[in-house]
Structure 1
Amino acid sequence: MTSPAQQAMLEKVQTTVGFIAALDQSGGSTPKALKLYGVDESAYSNDDEMFACVHAMRTRIVTSPAFEGKRVLGAILFENTLDRDIGGKSSAHFLWQDKQIVPFLKVDKGLADEDNGAQVMKPIPDLDTLLAKATAQDVFGTKMRSVIKMANAKGVKAVVEQQFAVGKKIIEAGLVPIIEPEVDINSPEKAAAESLLKEAILKELDALPDTQNVMLKLTLPEEANFYAELIAHPRVLKVVALSGGYSRDDANNKLRENNSMIASFSRALTQGLSAQQSDSDFDSELDSTIQAIYDASNT
């Protein structure tokens, strides 16, 4: 049964222009994210201290007056953040109740080894428990990432079929999955891989019943508006773009070329932010970044 909060979030996702902040670096990507923020590895001595540092960074972003629900549609968290508080509330509740920003949860456990030019997700053994935890905190949806490196039909098929199989379990738990089959921006076969990917996704979407909806998170395509057919599909709530290693300016420029595709940036969002900045400088930098990403999403 859909809660009033989930219904309000659904309406926001369906009708509001904005972008989704990806605040879900975890495990191996956390030290790099902290270093870019100006927190060296010498600042922590174990995983607990490292995650405390990254939570402090995320808390500073989320509690900034610049980070508000008129431009930021949603935010993706990872489990460690979900388990921590912001402003005296669970992180997910703070986002929605105080900021009107829709919370999502990263649920994948990382990537398996490359096979047929792609990396599927590792198994997610505790998915049911994680989804129950998310539902208890009024989380709206989930995110899970796979990677496609080559235009290999077998590899693309394996990625997309796994994404939708897990996505259906997430839908059954009452949440909306963000399906993320990333195409590596450095792939020598990027455009060809995107063609295979679109075909595979359309096949899965067409097989979904009318009661099941997903969101898609895709690499900015080589050809402008290449994913227009996916954006218009009745089973798709939103198609969001990952920056994938592009600089913020490059990512924003590419995003502007893709109508009705919105951003879900991670590194491009935090680029230019520093632990050493004063609050006013931090808020000003974040505000200009959010406005630029919002403008690029509003095309």
Structure 2
Amino acid sequence: MDLDAMVLTAHVLVSSGKGILAADESTPTIAKRFAGIGVESTETSRSAYREILFTTPGLGDHISGVILFDETIRHQTDDGTPTAELLLHQGVVPGIKVDGGTKPLAGFPDEVVTAGLDGLRGRLADYVTLGARFAKWRAVIRIGDGRPSSTCLEANAHALARYAALAQEAGLVPIVEPEVLMDGDHTLARCAEVTEATLREVYAQLARHRVVLEATLLKPNMVLPGQDCPVQATDDEIAVATIDTMRRTVPAAVPGLVFLSGGQTDAQATARLNAMNRRGPHPWELSFSFGRALQGPVLRAWRGDPANRRAAQEALLHRAALNGAARHGTYSAELETS
């Protein structure tokens, strides 16, 4: 384990004005995204789309890293360039999703735990040879009647910590993603309460497993009212609730927080990241690791037509630049159409 190299990678991933593109959709998930634009999901179409993303001129101006899926990190361009090498040429750090998705938590209806620890040490070693420099593991926490249970929080935090320890053993920076879903009608205050309990358990487990926090990143949810809550919140209210929760739970040793977009619109995710950064300075960098909130405009511009390649890449650059501005707290709604 080269700790210095991992610490450096963690800081590079949260470089000023930059964030992470999450392009690690599973095969079923990207099939749903493609269906929304009338494109059949095949290995060829998936590779063509992701190659558009990764060859975008100037991608590294506001994107520091890309989270890849297993199929993608093994892909090569027509001229034989591996995906990881393609990204490095853009000044972008390649990473890899390593979890196995969620499974029902036995004995706890409507709660899940993330699978994928079996054989993880070997898979991590394989991904290192393929060029990955960081990894990601997602846990899912649902708010509801009697949920989340303490057992659910402990089981998911334990899995996140075991993954993080194994990732660092392999020389990869672990991104730890405990996502509290915005599904439901819970209030902003209830989301803050659950997010705080989740993060307290996560960092307790990381300490027990001797994970070096300086060589990690946290990918948290923003603190949001449920999407069906009758009382929604302003961007500033969300920013205050999120920052307060993070300050109570996330050690200052962590280099950065790379927020997920989690069902928010493109503009909402950017505006709320901007609102948080306007309230700085903070103990950590506040950045982004967006999937849909970066790729939505790209998919709509592309629609499976090779003739739309340039328009799709321009959509990605525009969205990335807006989030880059939000890193500095200089985003405004007027920039959406500039």
TM over 0.5: yes
For residues 13 and 193 of structure 2, the distance between their equivalents in structure 1, rounded to whole angstroms, comes to: 31
Residue among 228, 236, 239 paired with 2:247: 228
Tell me which moved more, 237-246 or 209-218.
Answer: 209-218
Tell me which moved more, 110-119 or 26-35.
Answer: 110-119
Q: 2:191 is matched with which residue? A: 190
Gaps of 5+ in 1: 45-49
Q: 2:216 is matched with which residue? A: 214
Q: 1:200 is matched with which residue? A: 201
Residue among 146, 169, 174 paired with 1:172: 169
- The code of the aligned residue for 1:70 comes to D
Tell me which moved more, 283-292 or 55-64.
Answer: 283-292
Deviation for aligned residue 1:281: 2.1
- The code of the aligned residue for 1:153 comes to S
The answer to whether 1:292 aligns with 2:322 is yes
- The code of the aligned residue for 1:283 comes to Q
Aligned partners of 2:161 and 2:211 also within 8 Å: no
User: What is the TM-score normalised by the length of structure 2?
Assistant: 0.77
Partner-residue secondary structure (3-state), 2:297 = coil
Residue among 18, 33, 49 paired with 1:57: 49
Aligned partners of 2:54 and 2:87 also within 8 Å: yes
Aligned partners of 2:6 and 2:173 also within 8 Å: no
Residue among 147, 153, 157 paired with 2:140: 147
For residues 15 and 280 of structure 1, the distance between their equivalents in structure 2, rounded to whole angstroms, comes to: 27
Gaps of 5+ in 2: 225-240, 278-284, 330-338
- Across the aligned residues of Structure 1 and Structure 2, the Cα RMSD in angstroms comes to 2.6
Superposed, 1:259-274 pairs within 5 Å as: 259=277, 260-273=285-298, 274=302
Deviation for aligned residue 1:211: 4.6
Are residues 167 and 63 of structure 1, via their aligned partners in 2, closer, same or farther at CA, if it must alter by over 3 Å?
same
Q: 1:89 is matched with which residue? A: 81
User: What is the TM-score normalised by the length of structure 1?
Assistant: 0.86
Aligned partners of 2:165 and 2:211 also within 8 Å: no
Are residues 99 and 9 of structure 1, via their aligned partners in 2, closer, same or farther at CA, if it must alter by over 3 Å?
farther
Deviation for aligned residue 1:239: 1.3
Aligned partners of 2:162 and 2:209 also within 8 Å: no
Partner-residue secondary structure (3-state), 2:132 = coil
Are residues 101 and 141 of structure 1, via their aligned partners in 2, closer, same or farther at CA, if it must alter by over 3 Å?
same
Tell me which moved more, 204-213 or 239-248.
Answer: 204-213
Deviation for aligned residue 1:253: 1.7
Q: Give the % identical residues.
A: 23
Partner-residue secondary structure (3-state), 1:120 = strand
The answer to whether 1:27 aligns with 2:20 is no
Superposed, 1:37-116 pairs within 5 Å as: 38-41=37-40, 50-67=42-59, 69-86=60-77, 88-96=80-88, 98-114=89-105, 115=108
Aligned partners of 1:231 and 1:239 also within 8 Å: no
Deviations 1:29-66 (A, max 9, x none): 12112224x3433xx5xxxxx23211211100110114
For residues 272 and 14 of structure 1, the distance between their equivalents in structure 2, rounded to whole angstroms, comes to: 23
Q: How many residues are treated as equivalent by the alignment?
A: 288
Tell me which moved more, 183-192 or 133-142.
Answer: 183-192
Aligned partners of 1:157 and 1:200 also within 8 Å: yes
Deviations 1:105-159 (A, max 9, x none): 0011110115365321123433223211211133111111110002432211221
Tell me which moved more, 27-36 or 223-232.
Answer: 223-232
Partner-residue secondary structure (3-state), 2:125 = helix
- The code of the aligned residue for 1:294 comes to G
Aligned partners of 2:10 and 2:216 also within 8 Å: no
Partner-residue secondary structure (3-state), 1:73 = strand
Aligned partners of 1:116 and 1:155 also within 8 Å: no
Deviation for aligned residue 1:288: 1.2
Partner-residue secondary structure (3-state), 2:276 = coil
Aligned partners of 1:117 and 1:148 also within 8 Å: no
Aligned partners of 1:147 and 1:184 also within 8 Å: yes
Aligned partners of 1:215 and 1:239 also within 8 Å: yes
Are residues 206 and 160 of structure 1, via their aligned partners in 2, closer, same or farther at CA, if it must alter by over 3 Å?
same
Aligned partners of 1:120 and 1:147 also within 8 Å: yes
Q: 1:248 is matched with which residue? A: 266
Partner-residue secondary structure (3-state), 2:219 = strand
